[in-house]
Amino acid sequence: MKLKIWASAAFAVCLLSSSMAAFQAPAAQGQAKAARPAPLTSEELAKQPQTPGATGEQSRHYYFAEGKVESPYHLYVPKSYDGKTKMPLIIGLHGAGARETYFFRDAYQTIPLLEKYGFIFVSPYGFSDFGAYGAMNVPRVAAPAYPGVAPNTVGDRRPKWTPEEAAKVNELSEKDVMNVIALVEKEYNIDLSRVYLMGHSMGGQGTWYLGQKYAEKWAGLGMMSGGFGYVDYPAARIKGIPLITGAGSMDTALHGAEAQAGIAKLKAAGLNPIYIEIPDGTHMSEIPALFPQVIEFFATHHR
């Protein structure tokens, strides 16, 4: 059965907020771009060395046949990994306009948390900065007006896809995520009863979507400022999966009232989600406070 799912105008603002916060204000964009190296081409990426079974932080890649491109992903394997003991796995989905290194900022304390709780963590690229992981057709999401924002401001970075191109990118983005999960599960000794999915902003929206589509796979789901923009969301499909979600009180992409209304709908459907609101948190500044709580939640919740 084809699901009737699409995003609210709030998610459109979510895309903008991620992009603007990640790349700073227009006046500073020149400096930000100068400090941020351009992504490697597919040909360059294919030549980068990799060490199978390695521990620590790793920039990885594989040939994505469906997309006809070498696709990157970012991986962390705790130093305690010995190949004999199974370890749980977290998949992290980045926000709009960003890439696979999104969650590896010092402020998020990602590596100390993964070492402390013994998680392998992988963040796929998802085929495109704006791929959406299968959750939606991107141009359709961009269609609603952005309150208080000049129309040209929004489209500066988003690709000018046709609806057909966007639908294909959407499909390939989802496929890239599932391919990367399969690669990590094949290479490392993963506890398949403890595989978790999380994301921020567009990645949170992708978590809602992939969470229900592959519900049998997840031991927990974590969404940071990722939606409640779904209509006819099949909540029954994720019943029984531990669920944590949150937002900042000052987040214009997902404000507290919208999140709380979404939580009420999930509870009415028989789910028991944990909701955390970060006081004075904005769309990006909330992450250092929310991210550790998502990891800790996964560490103490199993399916």
In a domain, 40, yes or no: no
Domain of residue 288, CATH code: 3.40.50.1820
Residue 2 lies in a domain: no
Burial class (CB in 10 A: 0-12, 13-18, 19+), 99: middle
pLDDT of residue 174: 96
In a 3-state reduction of DSSP, which class is residue 57?
Answer: strand
* Model confidence at 261: pLDDT above 90: no
Q: Give the model's pLDDT for residue 14.
A: 46
Asked whether residue 237 is assigned to any structural domain, the reply reads yes
- Inter-CA distances, 159 with 85, 169, 257, Å: 44, 11, 31
Instruction: Say if residues 258 and 10 touch (Cβ distance below 8 Å).
Output: yes
Is 37 within a domain?
no
Determine if residue 24 is left, alpha or beta; phi over 0 gives left, psi from -120 to 50 gives alpha, anything else beta: left
| Amino acid 84: pLDDT | 95
Given this model, what pLDDT does residue 80 score?
96
Residue 189 lies inside a defined structural domain of this protein = yes
Judged by DSSP in three states, 118 sits in: coil
DSSP-assigned letter for residue 40: P
Q: Report how many domains make up the chain.
A: 1
Judged against a pLDDT cut of 70, whether residue 20 lies above it is answered with no
Residue 36 lies in a domain: no
Residue 3 lies in a domain: no
E-strand spans in 162-262?
190-200, 220-224, 243-248
Mean pLDDT, residues 89-102: 95
pLDDT the model gives residue 245: 92
**DSSP bridge pairs for 245:** 223, 275
Q: Which structural domain, as residue segments, surrounds residue 53?
A: 9-24+46-300
**pLDDT for position 153:** 40
Which is more confidently placed, 297 or 29?
297
Three-state secondary-structure class, residue 66? coil
Phi, psi of 160 (to 5 degrees): -90, 70
pLDDT digits (tens, 9 = 90+) for 275-295: 999 999 998 999 999 999 999
33 assigned to some structural domain: no
Positive or negative CA dihedral for 164, 18, 149, 231? positive
